[in-house]
Amino acid sequence: MKLRSLRSPALAALLAFVAGTVTHADEGMWLYSAPPRDQIKKKYGFELTDAWLEHLMKSSVRFNSGGSGSFVSGDGLVITNHHVGADDLQKLSDETHNYLKDGFYAATQADEKKCVDLELNVLQSIEDVTQRVNAAIPVGATGETAVLARRKVTAEIEKESLAKTGLRSDVVTLYQGGAYHLYRFKKYTDIRLVFAPEVGVAFFGGDPDNFEYPRYDLDVCFFRVYENGSPVKPANYLKWSVKGAQDGELSFVSGHPGTTRRLLTIPELEYIRDNQFPYQLALLKRREVLLSNWGARDTENARRAREELFGIQNTRKARDGAIAALQDPEFFGAKVAAEAAFKKQLADRADGKDALAAFGRIAEAQKAIAAIVTRQRLLEGMVAFNADSYGLARHLLRAGDERPKPNGERLKEYSDARNDSFEQQLFSDKPIYPDLEILTLSDSLTYLVEQLGVNDPIVKAVLAGKSPRARAAELINTTKVRDVAFRKQLYAGGAAAVTAAKDPLIEVARAVDTEARSLRKVVENADETKQQAQAIIGKARFAIEGAGNYPDATFTLRLSYGPVKGYEEDGKSIPAMTTLAGLYERSAKQGNKGDFELPERWLKKKSALDLSTPFNFVSTADIIGGNSGSPSVNRAGEFIGLIFDGNLASLSGDFGYEDKQARALSVHSAGILESLRKVYEVPALANELVNGKR
Amino acid sequence: MKLRSLRSPALAALLAFVAGTVTHADEGMWLYSAPPRDQIKKKYGFELTDAWLEHLMKSSVRFNSGGSGSFVSGDGLVITNHHVGADDLQKLSDETHNYLKDGFYAATQADEKKCVDLELNVLQSIEDVTQRVNAAIPVGATGETAVLARRKVTAEIEKESLAKTGLRSDVVTLYQGGAYHLYRFKKYTDIRLVFAPEVGVAFFGGDPDNFEYPRYDLDVCFFRVYENGSPVKPANYLKWSVKGAQDGELSFVSGHPGTTRRLLTIPELEYIRDNQFPYQLALLKRREVLLSNWGARDTENARRAREELFGIQNTRKARDGAIAALQDPEFFGAKVAAEAAFKKQLADRADGKDALAAFGRIAEAQKAIAAIVTRQRLLEGMVAFNADSYGLARHLLRAGDERPKPNGERLKEYSDARNDSFEQQLFSDKPIYPDLEILTLSDSLTYLVEQLGVNDPIVKAVLAGKSPRARAAELINTTKVRDVAFRKQLYAGGAAAVTAAKDPLIEVARAVDTEARSLRKVVENADETKQQAQAIIGKARFAIEGAGNYPDATFTLRLSYGPVKGYEEDGKSIPAMTTLAGLYERSAKQGNKGDFELPERWLKKKSALDLSTPFNFVSTADIIGGNSGSPSVNRAGEFIGLIFDGNLASLSGDFGYEDKQARALSVHSAGILESLRKVYEVPALANELVNGKR
């Protein structure tokens, strides 16, 4: 609960940022196409050369499932966080092998285990396509017309690029619609698991210590990328620094921050504070209790629920931190004051009128969303249908309806460019557990009834006269969508096959689909209005503040930087580094129990370890969720650590940057090496890191 | 999640009950003043004599903190559940003694530990005062006038009775206002702890196994009642049955069921289903996550939060079960049909008009509550101020304002008759932990902001320009209400002293008080309207259905009955009894971990035990929350078991009785004895039970 004490120091920073100075200190999640060369040169005397940047960019890996990583050997070895790989560990596990809990090591290449449906992307090039996108939108077009026009031109650009280069091609929206860039990725889908430690040390301290510092987590996981049955030989990979991060040294982080909302207007922030986050938190806590309780009934239940439960707890803690920032009158007041100051600057300029009007349109669009969002979340957002089976059922239904349409007119997840990724998801044979599906679907149908009432026509159609529990059991027990062959057959057969199947769960999705689509349209149109308005405001902001800014995070590759550096908290000095000794101390203090219970191997090998080895460290680099697994590198571009978390103070980072207390947390490269050599005794893997090859 | 499968069997029962047959099977929580003599004689051939009833009544003990118990020796020994005594165990514990977790045994009388603020009541007599209460209410009076008139006459009756008999005297409302009875209790406030097992075996299986069966819990706790420094010698106590409950035998339960809502009208049930329970569940889950997470950070945190967390999880599970029943179209449809049928009967009768009109007034009153309930819960219900310190602050404020008023005009918790109990609570020196207070107050102030918005005048007054976290820390750190001497001084000094103290937390209570009181008045008036209307409906129901009914539960002493009997579930037969062997099996299957970890003593003594000894058993007796700790007795009036829970199917019991699957759970008297002798090796206590004296 130290969450709030950081607000005052953050304040000056935030004010300065929003009101004009653009960036300060080590702020920023920079585009590789517009890196902060001047700032870094000026402050640190270091030159970001094109070669240095290209090497880091092409060594960086995006986990399509939502995370970052990097190549760390010329034989295709990729490092990321255990919690990024956890989803894949879970999918490879079964009732007899729990790789998530017990860890995994492939002693030989033949032992490396192919992941069920993991896709990795490596960015190859960035192209500015803003003009082409904007030109395709009819002058004065708003709402749906503009959405469709943009979707059409975006799909065209992506398809052309894919055809021309063979690379995954995504048009990404930057600066709230101020710019559109075409990102081309080398895409890999044959990814094999090499090494994972036990979750007990990867996530030591569990949810209780999550977002806390000091920390002691070996949150690492290694994969190897294959192509045509053999490991790839990447031209770019990061050299491993054996001594690793040094206190005070400048570090860089290259990764994929997911979302920030630093340039939102006040009505949008108010909506997040008063509606979106409270709503999400209530739902997260509801699901956390549901899964915790079910997991506690039986050890196998616990294994099945673990991964989702972690995600829920993680987001819950982050949202609690964010809402604390937004409810702080000082923090929020600063944002209000900054917007007022900016608006005043606009009012003083001849060309400021459009931007001021744009603020009004955003407020209106936000109201339009608020008016329907309860139903939209339940039906389109599938909050009422919390079961993987339902997601599959709806995909089958919609794919049947969407695929025959022209590419540009489809819902975007069914576009040609996304086809491969979509099919990999749809045909994934990851395990789905009917008992867990019934549990979560029962609960979410109960929530549906609570929200809309028993007499709502949709509720009646969905429940068909049964109780939520009985209906959930019936639907999950009778649907065939958990059978991959059935899904393939329906997908191949299109809408006619889907209709003919009369699958009860697909029929529920159908009963909801008309309203769900129309609600989606309302939100998409409002988002489009906001995006267009944001683009106008963004341009005006550039006109006033000059260039050299960075856009809000969008799960595209970014470069952050800042020194390895401790901080003060409640008058206490928190050093930048922890050591392996600290791990054993924290465990002992909590009785080596629960989330603080060390794997047996760690207890046995304690005496073999150099306990003074650095284990985790913090830097001021500007990161956020999605950066998990990002490499921390030094000036030489060497791997010195692995980003895995932020501290509590960093939870305001969604809305602004501060460097007094907010810190990015990394696993230290020396700590990783010491663990691999002395605890896991896997010299081949350790040597591959040090030598850059097997 | 087997919760729903019971609805269909329950249906016929429920329909029959509400529509007219009044009771069936072994239904009923009967008044001692109107016991079900005929039913029991007819079905079981057993005569409930006056002497038998009086003996059981005067052997029964009410835990004023919310639970039941009974005298089991002539030396004042009382048995109840561990979870009923848990609150007292917690209050007696500190950072070095954790009696809740580790258990307690007083080897000698001198070792018996005086509870901090526990009050026990033993019912001595019941007097019908309906006529006097009704006569005191002016003809045609409604709303506040009637509330005040009833409060006045109630306070008079209670005060007179107290003066005349020296007994605690409570006027209780029965049959939804159809009757008023004066209950006189012998009151004991010097209660000493004798024995408690470890929570690990008392609450074996924890929240996961709560409300489940089969079960294996030693949920017992022994106290001794003192008066004038010596153990009391009760004329009535229960003889201990060494062989205990037998499968199939008729059992009786004498205890204090808290609340049932079996006679509510449909609009009231709809309100519970659509508003009250979803609201409570969201709040409970929010608090469960808050306390679980805080407790997981540190073992001492866990100890401090444990008791409240248990209460939350317990209620949460019960509410989830109840809402499942209410959302079941079949279950709820039956209640709707039954009410419609009853209304039709009324419409067919000349004297039915008043009752029909009363239904309408209830619906209107329910709407009046719904209109203001969000603010009422936050401000008067103190949901916005979740900290013991705040409760004390408000009591000081209100006591200062209320005590000078005539007895009959005060808010009821400040009446003369409740004075002793109130002061015992107010001056209790149970530990209050500032860090936990800050945690819960921060969270509840955050909830206040979420619910009312940052611009609400009350929110602004409460937060005083600070964030919820900062304000909570400031209030908890600066208030003096945690100092008992300070509370005594302010209470003695009255309103002037309270005002002069300028205590920041009391001032917050003051800032809220005008609105809080006016919201309370709205609810009280609506409740009064409902009560009057219910009384009219109740009278009409008697006219149609005849006498011999039992009122909804009201935390007054009731007699239930039914055989010891297993049941069927999902086609599987669940036997009535579990054994000590089952305890060890369940623990082993879950790796003897977490909620399934047995205390070391139990592991060591396993071989000494007769593992075939019955441990827990079920009966069809009609019970509900508040019955915890009630004795199960046989025809001979002997103690054969200790009620401690109901199974999942019993969670619909709030709204109706069924006996196909719903069961009351007891700890078996033989299992208790075997545990005391062989595991705890406390022959003195075991012998006292068997001999009825020390």
Residue B20 distance to chain A (closest CA, Å): 26
Residue A222 distance to chain B (closest CA, Å): 29
Structure confidence by residue, pLDDT tens digits, A517-552? 999 999 999 998 998 898 889 878 867 865 577 889
CA A363, CA A341: separation in Å to the nearest integer? Answer: 18
Facing B1 at nearest CB: one of A317, A442, A591: A442
Q: Mark yes or no for CB contact A465/B278 under 8 Å.
A: no
Q: Which residues in chain A touch residue B289, judged by CB atoms under 8 angstroms apart?
A: 285, 288-289, 316
Facing A1 at nearest CB: one of B206, B328, B438: B438
Q: Which residues in chain A touch residue B285, judged by CB atoms under 8 angstroms apart?
A: 282, 285-286, 288-289
* pLDDT value for B207: 84
* pLDDT value for A272: 97
Q: Mark yes or no for CB contact A468/B324 under 8 Å.
A: yes
* pLDDT value for A476: 96
* pLDDT value for B547: 54
* pLDDT value for B571: 63
Q: Mark yes or no for CB contact B331/A467 under 8 Å.
A: yes
CA B467, CA A332: separation in Å to the nearest integer? Answer: 10
Q: Mark yes or no for CB contact A209/B327 under 8 Å.
A: no
A173-187, A635-649, B48-62, B70-84: least confidently modelled range = A173-187
Q: Note whether B364 and B528 are within 8 A (CB).
A: no
| Collapsed DSSP state (helix, strand, coil) of residue B153 | helix
Q: Which residues in chain A touch residue B6, judged by CB atoms under 8 angstroms apart?
A: none
Supply the DSSP string of B442-466, one letter for each residue. Answer: HHHHHHHHHHH-TT-HHHHHHHTTS
* pLDDT value for B158: 96
Residue A273 distance to chain B (closest CA, Å): 8
* CA A427 from centre of chain: 22
Work out the percent of chain B whose per-residue pLDDT is above 70: 95
| Mutation to test the B interface, candidates A98, A212, A289, most B Cβ within 10 Å | A289
Q: Which residues in chain A touch residue B588, judged by CB atoms under 8 angstroms apart?
A: none
Q: Mark yes or no for CB contact A208/B278 under 8 Å.
A: no
The architecture (CATH level 2) of B3-57+232-262+559-691 comes to: Beta Barrel (2.40)
Whole-Å CA distances, A371 to A357, A525, B384: 22, 14, 27
* pLDDT value for A546: 57
Q: Mark yes or no for CB contact A293/B207 under 8 Å.
A: yes
Searching chain B, which residue's CA lies closest to the CA of residue A299? B590
Those residues with Cβ within 8 angstroms of residue B35's Cβ, 6 or more apart along the chain or in another chain:
B48, B53, B559
φ and ψ of B150, to 5 deg: -70, -40
Token digits for B233?
């010698």
In the predicted model, what is the mean pLDDT of residues B504-510?
98
Residue B570 distance to chain A (closest CA, Å): 13
CA A21, CA B69: separation in Å to the nearest integer? Answer: 70
Does the pLDDT at position B382 exceed 70? Answer: yes
Residue A439 distance to chain B (closest CA, Å): 7
CA dihedral A147, A148, A151, A157 (to 10 degrees): -130
* pLDDT value for B9: 28
Q: Mark yes or no for CB contact B467/A207 under 8 Å.
A: no
Does the pLDDT at position A141 exceed 80? Answer: no
Q: Mark yes or no for CB contact B296/A450 under 8 Å.
A: no
Q: Which residues in chain B touch residue A313, judged by CB atoms under 8 angstroms apart?
A: 293
ipTM: 0.78
In the predicted model, what is the mean pLDDT of residues A197-219?
94
Q: Name the average pLDDT for chain B.
A: 91
Does the pLDDT at position B8 exceed 60? Answer: no
| Mutation to test the B interface, candidates A209, A284, A293, most B Cβ within 10 Å | A293
Q: Mark yes or no for CB contact A328/B470 under 8 Å.
A: yes
Q: Which residues in chain A touch residue B446, judged by CB atoms under 8 angstroms apart?
A: 323-324, 327
Does the pLDDT at position B176 exceed 80? Answer: no
**What angle do helix axes A434-452 and A299-327 make, rounded to 10 degrees?**
40
Residue B581 distance to chain A (closest CA, Å): 19
Q: How confident is the model at residue A16 (pLDDT cuts 50, 70, 90)?
A: very low
In the predicted model, what is the mean pLDDT of residues A416-443?
91
Facing B289 at nearest CB: one of A289, A298, A331: A289
* pLDDT value for A129: 95
Q: Which residues in chain B touch residue A448, judged by CB atoms under 8 angstroms apart?
A: none
* pLDDT value for A571: 63
Residue A249 distance to chain B (closest CA, Å): 32
* pLDDT value for A612: 98
| Residue B486 CB neighbours (<10 A) | 16
Radius of gyration of chain A (CA): 25
Work out the percent of chain B whose per-residue pLDDT is above 90: 75
Does the pLDDT at position A12 exceed 70? Answer: no
| Collapsed DSSP state (helix, strand, coil) of residue B667 | strand
| Strand-pair category, A614-619 with A664-668 | antiparallel
A35-39, B543-547, B571-575: least confidently modelled range = B543-547
Q: Which residues in chain B touch residue A328, judged by CB atoms under 8 angstroms apart?
A: 467, 469-470
Whole-Å CA distances, B233 to B60, B76, B639: 14, 6, 18
Q: Mark yes or no for CB contact B274/A450 under 8 Å.
A: yes
Structure confidence by residue, pLDDT tens digits, A607-631? 999 999 999 999 999 999 999 999 9
In the predicted model, what is the mean pLDDT of residues A411-429?
90
Q: Mark yes or no for CB contact A316/B289 under 8 Å.
A: yes
Q: Mark yes or no for CB contact A1/B449 under 8 Å.
A: no
Token digits for A28?
């920023």
Cα–Cα nearest to B17, from B331, B270, B366: B331
Query: Which range scores top for mean pLDDT: A552-561, B12-21, B417-426?
Result: A552-561
Token digits for B410?
């005060």
CA B585, CA B600: separation in Å to the nearest integer? Answer: 16
The full 3-state SS of A43-99, as one line of letters, equals HHCCCCCHHHHHHHHHHEEEECCCEEEEECCCCCEEEECHHHHHHHHHHHCCCCCCH
CA A507, CA A485: separation in Å to the nearest integer? Answer: 19
Searching chain B, which residue's CA lies closest to the CA of residue A449? B327
Searching chain B, which residue's CA lies closest to the CA of residue A207? B293
Searching chain A, which residue's CA lies closest to the CA of residue B470? A4
Q: Name the average pLDDT for chain A.
A: 91
Q: Mark yes or no for CB contact B446/A590 under 8 Å.
A: no
* pLDDT value for B2: 21
Does the pLDDT at position B14 exceed 70? Answer: no
* pLDDT value for A140: 76
Answer with the residue of higher pLDDT: A237 or B537.
A237
CATH topology of domain A20-119+189-256+556-691: Thrombin, subunit H (2.40.10)
Those residues with Cβ within 8 angstroms of residue A437's Cβ, 6 or more apart along the chain or in another chain:
A387, A388, A389, A472, A476
Q: Which residues in chain A touch residue B593, judged by CB atoms under 8 angstroms apart?
A: 299
Q: How confident is the model at residue B143 (pLDDT cuts 50, 70, 90)?
A: low
Residue B323 distance to chain A (closest CA, Å): 9
Radius of gyration of chain B (CA): 25
Whole-Å CA distances, B463 to A152, A266, A332, A672: 50, 21, 14, 46
Q: Which residues in chain A touch residue B10, judged by CB atoms under 8 angstroms apart?
A: none
Residue B611 distance to chain A (closest CA, Å): 24
A81-90, B37-46, B328-337: least confidently modelled range = B328-337
Residue ranges covered by each domain of chain A = 20-119+189-256+556-691, 123-187, 381-543
Residue B447 distance to chain A (closest CA, Å): 9
Q: Mark yes or no for CB contact A297/B453 under 8 Å.
A: no
* pLDDT value for B24: 54
Q: How confident is the model at residue B12 (pLDDT cuts 50, 70, 90)?
A: very low
* pLDDT value for B546: 57
Q: Which residues in chain B touch residue A469, judged by CB atoms under 8 angstroms apart?
A: 1, 3-4, 324, 328
Cβ-in-10-Å burial (0-12, 13-18, 19+) of B248 comes to exposed
Searching chain B, which residue's CA lies closest to the CA of residue A438? B1
Q: Which residues in chain A touch residue B591, judged by CB atoms under 8 angstroms apart?
A: 299
User: What are the b/e assignments for B430-446, b being 16+ CB within 10 Å?
Assistant: ebbeeebbbbbbbbbbb
Q: Which residues in chain B touch residue A592, judged by CB atoms under 8 angstroms apart?
A: none
* pLDDT value for B16: 29
Chains A–B, number of C-beta pairs less than 8 Å apart: 123
Facing B324 at nearest CB: one of A330, A469, A594: A469
| Residue A160 CB neighbours (<10 A) | 13
* pLDDT value for B3: 21
Q: Which residue has the tokens 């922890």?
A: A578
Residue B193 distance to chain A (closest CA, Å): 29
Residue A290 distance to chain B (closest CA, Å): 9
Q: Which residues in chain B touch residue A209, judged by CB atoms under 8 angstroms apart?
A: 297
Q: How confident is the model at residue A24 (pLDDT cuts 50, 70, 90)?
A: low
Work out the percent of chain A whose per-residue pLDDT is above 90: 76
Does the pLDDT at position A13 exceed 60? Answer: no
pTM equals: 0.78
Supply the DSSP string of B55-70, one letter for each residue. Answer: HHHHHEEEETTTEEEE
